[in-house]
């Protein structure tokens, strides 16, 4: 085992960076070409306000009230608007023509026969109402 000390040619290993620079330049060109093609965001439409602000949206709850006049004849109201018995089916059909939620409440006064309330229920079914509810007066706790 001999050891040499002195002036000998020492091989220094250096990294050859030329291939790495070539790869870097190729990647840079690829990313520069791809970057403009990628979308920058989503195209979304913002909801616009309705053009005619005069018309009010239809009320959500429809209540048909059956009352009896002092003469004994029944009269009908749709959300506090007087309606005759002959016009009741056409008005309800018009109201529920474009509604997804077809719910109607029937409110009968105490002095009205149930036959008139049942007639309104039949008219509601003919107007394609899906769910019918009966409204009753609230009972006080003293009764």
Task: Give me the helix-helix angle, 114-126 and 85-95, nearest 10°.
Answer: 40
Rounded distance, CA 120 to CA 88, Å? 8
Tell me the pTM: 0.54
In sequence order, the 6+-apart residues with CB closer than 8 A to the CB of 101 are 60
pLDDT of 53 reads: 59
pLDDT of 114 reads: 86
CB 100 within 8 A of CB 130: no
| pLDDT > 70 in the chain, percent | 77
- Return the CATH class of domain 62-135: alpha beta
pLDDT tens over the chain, length 143 residues: 555 565 566 677 777 888 889 999 999 999 888 877 666 666 667 777 777 655 555 567 888 999 888 887 888 998 888 898 888 999 999 888 888 888 899 988 888 888 888 999 999 899 888 888 888 776 555 55
pLDDT of 28 reads: 93
| pLDDT > 90 in the chain, percent | 10
Domain spans of the chain, in order of start:
62-135
């Amino acid at each position: 085992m001999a050891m040499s000390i002195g002036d000998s040619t020492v091989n220094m290993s250096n990294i050859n960076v030329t291939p790495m620079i070539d790869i870097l330049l190729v990647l840079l060109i690829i990313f520069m070409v791809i970057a403009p093609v990628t979308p920058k965001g989503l195209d979304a439409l913002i909801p616009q306000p309705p053009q005619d602000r005069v018309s009010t949206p239809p009320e959500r709850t429809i209540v048909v009230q059956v009352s009896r006049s002092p003469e004994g004849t029944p009269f009908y109201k749709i959300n506090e608007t007087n309606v005759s018995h002959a016009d009741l089916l056409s008005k309800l059909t018009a109201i529920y023509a474009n509604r997804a939620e077809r719910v109607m409440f029937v409110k009968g006064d105490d002095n009205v026969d149930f036959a008139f309330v049942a007639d309104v229920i039949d008219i509601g079914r003919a107007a394609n109402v899906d769910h019918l509810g009966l409204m009753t007066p609230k009972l006080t706790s003293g009764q």
